[in-house]
Structure 1
Amino acid sequence: MSAPGIDVSQVSAPTGQLVRLFDEYRQHYGERPDPAGSGTWLRQQLDSGALIGFLAKLGTETAGLALVAPTPASQRLGHFWQLRDLFVAPEHRRLGVGKALVNSVCSAAQAHGANRVSLVTEADNRTARDLYADAGFEAVAGYTSMSWSSSSRPEGAA
């Protein structure tokens, strides 16, 4: 389900190409370069099954990645996939790589019996929102996204 010239494959181990692109992704969001740490983290996540990786190539060049977390869906007595990370290298943007990754993730989720694929993206990331909408994703009304961080724990909290 890839665009012409774009090959998306599921990866079970952190290849050098995946690690390099993942570290680029982290830097895109303000993190310091850490190829060794990125490789170790990816290996742990992929080996444990906590994440499933996808790597897109455009010709012979590594063009993008997607990381998915399989998650239990208790009410449906099944599971769903959460698209955690999607990144296309800047030089490969607007060429169909993101679309190929999203389509491949959705096809693989269906093949693995997942009930749905969910994701979260920034409200002001119009490019990503358009990509996901074009792939059939819909905004979920009635939910509020909340987060807890150990650094935001109130003083005196147990």
Structure 2
Amino acid sequence: MEIFLAHLEHLEEVSRLFDQYRTFYRQPSDLKAATQFLQERFQKNDSIIFLASDRGKMVGFTQLYPSFSSVSMKQVWILNDLFVEETSRKKGIAKLLMDAAEDFARQTKAIRIVLATQTFNLAAQSLYKSRGYTKDDEFEHYTLHL
């Protein structure tokens, strides 16, 4: 198993996984749009994507978006996406992807990683709790859907 930083040359593999990720979250499959979206992320350098390779086959990814804490004046990383193909689950791949994301956050001197998952995704909630992630008791989070 290998975890590495993805680049534009990995667009096709990441797009395939990203499309599967979106369908997991009950969105319609749209590989063309997924590819365009990720191509923009690579070209604009506005996300970090780690890929998981199992004997040369790409089987999972995680995507981080940058943010900042004004109060602490430090970097914050939003772990927005974490996905492992169904046939590759229960092999520790998600943990390895989380390791890579957390190591990257430490290397960039970030103050924290924030993430969210759907209430029905109990496997993800269990993974995050097992790694020390906690629900935020300090802030109320609100969303304005546009």
TM-score (norm 2): 0.91
- Which residue, 37, 40, 43 being the options, matches 1:47? 43
Could you say which residue in structure 2 is the equivalent of 1:10? 5
Contact 1:103–1:135 (8 Å) recurs in 2: no
Q: In structure 2, what is the Cα distance between the partners aligned to 1:123 and 1:38?
A: 24
Greater Cα offset, 7-16 or 101-110: 7-16
Counterpart of 1:35 in structure 2 is 31
Of the three residues 130, 142, 152, the one matched with 2:138 is 142
How far has the Cα of 1:49 moved from its partner? 2.5
Shift of 1:132: 1.0
Amino acid corresponding to residue 78 of structure 1 in structure 2: K
Partner deviation per Cα, 1:10-49 (whole Å, 9 max, x = no partner)? 1132521111111111122222222121111101122222
Q: Deviations over 1:71-130 (max 9, x none)?
A: 011111111101001111000111101111111100011111211111111234221111
Determine whether 1:130 maps to 2:133. Answer: no
Query: Which is higher, the Rg of structure 1 or of structure 2?
Result: 1
Q: Which residue of 2 aligns with 1:154?
A: none
- Where does structure 2 lack aligned partners over 5 or more consecutive residues? none
Aligned-pair identity (%):
25
Displaced runs of 4 or more, over 6 A? none
Shift of 1:131: 0.7
Q: Return 5+ residue gaps in structure 1 as ranges.
A: 1-5, 151-158
Counterparts of 2:83 and 2:19 in 1: how far apart (Å)? 11
CA contact under 8 A between 1:68 and 1:85: conserved in structure 2? yes
Find out whether 1:72 has 2:71 as its counterpart: no
How many residue pairs end up in the alignment? 145
The 2-side partners of 1:8 and 1:79 are apart by 23
Coordinate RMSD, CA, aligned: 1.4
What TM-score do the two structures reach when normalised by structure 1?
0.85
SS in 1 for 2:37: helix
1:120 counterpart residue number: 116
Listed as ranges, the matches of 1:94-109 within 5 Å are 94-109=90-105
Q: Secondary structure at the match of 2:71?
A: helix
